[in-house]
Amino acid sequence: MFITFYGINNIGKTTHAKRFAQRCEELAGLKVKYLKFPLYDLPPSGPFLNEQLRGDAGQTVTEEELQTWFVVNRWQHQPQLMRDLAEYDVVVAEDYVQTGIAWGTAKGASEEWLEAINAPLLKEDVSVLMLGERSKDAMEEQHVHETNDELIAKCDEVLRRRASRLGWLTVEVQPEKDDTEALVWEMLKGKLGA
């Protein structure tokens, strides 16, 4: 099973995707692989994307060019993703295809075009959207997206709209991480047969 976690930056996706993966192993006895997109260590796309998001020059290409590079990154990793899905019971991924579509749309690219360029990529079985307030304590000052509250709000709006249209599961982030973890587990364990 391929499960993806989505949401705005600094909302807790990494924490809760990893906690869910751990619960799958400990409570359901499943073999689980966690990964986070984009894969910055996958050349040539990963280092290029990292420079565009965190480099001193900021984003130096059009949004369409940037999103094409994100698709290349996912496409480069797809053979490994397919091997992982054959080897593991569950692959838990953070920020997959829908992240690119949401950010690209929020930054002015055509949503239909973004859907089309991502269409050949492997589809997830279950998508989870995390909702709530982001933690500004975890914000990267050098990241071109994380310091732009207006852009974050636009991205959140696109993610919520897509979640509603595409039937994703949604979870409200709670003040206590353990409470959010429990909500995620209750929501997803039935999908695993646990």
> Could you tell me the CATH superfamily of domain 2-35+85-192?
P-loop containing nucleotide triphosphate hydrolases (3.40.50.300)
- Looking at the chain, list the stretches that DSSP marks H as alpha helix, in order from N- to C-terminal side: 13-28, 45-54, 63-87, 97-106, 111-118, 149-166, 177-192
pLDDT of residue 150: 92
* Claim: this prediction has a pTM higher than 0.85: yes
Quick check: 74 pLDDT over 70? yes
Q: Which pLDDT band, with edges at 50, 70 and 90, does 170 fall under?
A: very high
Q: What is the average pLDDT across 133-138?
A: 69
What pLDDT score was predicted for residue 71? 98
